[in-house]
Chain A
């Protein structure tokens, strides 16, 4: 993984010093709350319902064990012994004290971490596929390009005060696991007709209040032009994006209101003027690529028989392997998912002791690296098959082996009304109730691939509009109600879910979900998935049953 050089470290250290001065000026009354806000947001600091919330960057979701131990330390010393992993591969602390945040940032800088641009109207953390570099459907490892983009976006002098936040995601595989079609810019590694690898660039996707699927603006871009093309898009957006209404300020609205043809012509014209000055050299790409070489896989790992034997002997282990691990490029290895969706704990949360323990397991079994997935789980990407049984047993003790990855209880969930000042309704409680109602694992496996996403307000942090089932908390005269959608997807077949009907009351949500599942189980044909059935029959059969007694 990428290692800071002296310049990287200096920049992060200087950022901490700058934020320390800013915090002092605010506490001394030299900065007003309004002046301090954009500065603290650019360092990940929100003011929330109970306390500030600090969002820390997980650069394209990749961390090492030392960094995990630092998160555990911060959770113990500055927070209430836990942290939360987000859909954008970041880490959140919910209880830091404002005056201690510079100290937390200093601790992070000591392990090459930061909270730069994790919030505010600027370019945010670049995200990618959690199986980058190890998956079997990869064209090229996207992480070197993520790091190049990370550096380019960090403290960009021209684009730090954009009309609105700006998110870039990169995918290097055939299967899009990074929701690139729902980012301000989506970057896909593709091959041209000569077999040369370059980028396909999408623009104008996004979730939130107005979910829009991104469109292709450049079907093929040579690698050397990556940064100049991004610069052209950002400049047009910075100049022309709406600033009169924050709900219409994202680039997706500019693209929609201008029309793709006009927008892409503006970008092309700008790009032609700068493309030759801002070339990304092959040497630079190679230099960054060198940080992402494959680990030293053991050549004899493929000759193990114990893995198959353990699965034959132990049904629970076999089930976990089936759901919580994925195929790997290297013979004898698998990528392991650590489920942060145990039925009785808030989705995406981890305690300090779990963080420390996972750091140890990463060191022992997976070259000391841990990845954060956009569905709020973790991945140990390089585990030998012969180690899986031991790893599984250790994860089970830590309550991190719930075999539910990709199932109906692997729910994406925002902090909701319990923590967030924007929320209209609770989301963690609904998740808990769904888990209580669905306690039969055989039934869960029979339902198969079904993604539920729950957001406590229409800002949509949990991507409810692209959930196969989306649940959106709304406020109705001070009461918590929930709007359901069906048929959304953030993967290749990107789609925005259709509204099922009127919002349902809080005590009816779980009933509605179980009813939807029953309709699917009864009416599915052959092996079709929930999403395929919704696409075939539409929402009507579900709607009829959910609202049957209304």
Chain B
């Protein structure tokens, strides 16, 4: 599985572990629910930890843990749920999170230019064949009226 990170197509090194599946070593991403429940247990985890948040999760709950997290996945339930755009902006701009923020789930290549401007730096395509459209869409516009999050 390939993704886009920092404007490059790269191989994905992360594994998302469903809530009812046992954890394993390596770079793993888990749900917010699981993180809250198993935070202590995960202290001894060998590998990096990522958290997948959906719009109904409170991004503020992560505020004190951001230093321990290397990946935040913003999981779109539908392309229309714009809350995740604000979450990205807040995580980068207000909480100064410096790890990877990756868009996943049901969003469109047509939204990645916007997402890249609010701090999302990685994109997992909904369909593998979207990868090149998605990469191209990062350059949909060469000018903007608002400042972007770096």
Q: Which residues from chain A sit less than 8 Å from chain B, CB to CB?
A: 7, 10-11, 14-15, 18, 22, 25, 31, 35, 38-39, 121, 151-152, 154-163, 235, 238-239, 243, 273
Q: Which residues of B contact A121 (CB under 8 A)?
A: 80, 82
Query: Given contacts A151-B145, A157-B117, A160-B114, is CB(A39)–CB(B81) below 8 Å?
Result: no
Q: Which residues of B contact A159 (CB under 8 A)?
A: 82, 85
Asked whether any CB of chain A lies closer than 8 Å to the CB of B132, the reply is no
Contact A38 B85 (CB under 8 A): no
B102 → chain A closest CB, angstroms: 17
Contact B110 A18 (CB under 8 A): yes
Contact B86 A158 (CB under 8 A): yes
Asked whether any CB of chain A lies closer than 8 Å to the CB of B118, the reply is yes
Interface of A is mostly: helix
Asked whether any CB of chain A lies closer than 8 Å to the CB of B97, the reply is no
Q: B95-114: which residues lie under 8 A (CB-CB) from chain A?
A: 108, 110-111, 113-114
Please measure, in the bound complex, the distance between the C-alpha atom of A156 and the C-alpha atom of B145, giving whole angstroms: 8
Contact A158 B145 (CB under 8 A): no
Contact B86 A18 (CB under 8 A): no
Chain B interface: which size bin?
A: 20 to 34
Q: Which of B81, B89, B108, B110 meets A158, CB within 8 Å?
A: B89
A166 → chain B closest CB, angstroms: 11
Q: Which of B133, B141, B143, B145 meets A152, CB within 8 Å?
A: B145
Contact A162 B141 (CB under 8 A): no
Contact B85 A157 (CB under 8 A): yes
Asked whether any CB of chain A lies closer than 8 Å to the CB of B146, the reply is yes
Contact A18 B140 (CB under 8 A): yes
Contact B140 A161 (CB under 8 A): no
Lowest 10 A-B CB distances belong to which pairs? A161-B82, A157-B117, A151-B145, A7-B143, A157-B114, A158-B85, A11-B143, A10-B143, A14-B141, A238-B86
Please measure, in the bound complex, the distance between the C-alpha atom of A154 and the C-alpha atom of B118, giving whole angstroms: 15
Please measure, in the bound complex, the distance between the C-alpha atom of A155 and the C-alpha atom of B141, giving whole angstroms: 10
Contact A243 B118 (CB under 8 A): no
Closest to B149 in A: A157
User: Apart from A14-B140, A155-B145, A239-B83, what are 5 other A-B pairs with CB-CB below 8 Å?
Assistant: A11-B145, A18-B140, A39-B108, A152-B146, A157-B89
Q: Which residues of B contact A15 (CB under 8 A)?
A: 141
Offer 25 A-B interface pairs, CB within 8 angstroms, sorted by A. Answer: A15-B141, A18-B110, A22-B110, A25-B133, A121-B80, A151-B145, A152-B146, A155-B146, A157-B85, A157-B89, A157-B113, A157-B115, A157-B144, A158-B82, A158-B86, A160-B85, A161-B79, A161-B82, A161-B111, A163-B82, A238-B83, A243-B55, A243-B80, A243-B81, A273-B94
